[in-house]
Amino acid sequence: MTNCRIQKVTNLCKTEGPIIRASALRSAGFCGKDTDELIRLGILQRLRRGYYIPPEKLNDIDTYGIISALIPDGIISLFSAAQYHDLSSVIPQKIDITLPVHKRVPILPEDIHVTIHKAIQRIYEVGIQTVQINEYSLNIYDRERTVCDFFRMRNQIGKDCTFEVLKNYMAGKKQLQKLSEYAELLQIKKVLFSYLEVLVV
């Protein structure tokens, strides 16, 4: 492969990457055989079928960055979102991801550990925010949605963890009107506000 072609891939990684899809390589004129050669030369490394990254960029991107590329419809949720928003002391062993019910779960690299939750569209789309981390954007549920999710799943998660999240939320930045609107949409307003009354008494 010529230096010109290698430089073309390098430029593509800068504009499309750091993780690039096979479709982007094909659009730039690189076939499957070319991609195999780029891997053999150490220019690219396969994350999983159809997704590639320059090896030197692996140290610059964390697990969340890889997930944002491989699961573009996935929303960081529950304990992972609570950790991001400083709402829980629990350190999750796996990354919680919420997907629409109709989306299939993609095959991930073996060292990426996730727990997938499915939600119908009207629930899935409540409270999504996009945050910028280094070179990538990450979709995550906001603070209010995260609180509501803990109450929606309080029986599985545990009431102590749920109450901790609410307590930390009330001690920090809060938007009670938004919290009330989300709780109404997610049909947990009565139970959430019964807990809230305990905190404000």
157 pLDDT more than 70: yes
Query: Tell me, what's the pLDDT at 56?
Result: 81
Which DSSP string do the residues of 133-186 spell out, in sequence order? Answer: ETTEEEEEE-HHHHHHHHHHTHHHH-HHHHHHHHHHHHHSS--HHHHHHHHHHT
Cβ-in-10-Å burial (0-12, 13-18, 19+) of 70 comes to buried
Nearest to 7 by CA among 40, 30, 36, 32: 30
pLDDT digits 0-9 by tens, 62-86: 888 888 888 889 999 999 999 999 9
Distance CA 128, CA 126 (A): 6
For the record, the structure tokens of 149 come out as: 């999710």
Please state the domain extents for the chain.
Answer: 3-60, 72-200
Query: Tell me, what's the pLDDT at 82?
Result: 97
Helices (H), ranges, 21-158: 22-27, 32-40, 63-70, 78-84, 121-124, 143-152, 154-157
Query: Tell me, what's the pLDDT at 18?
Result: 78
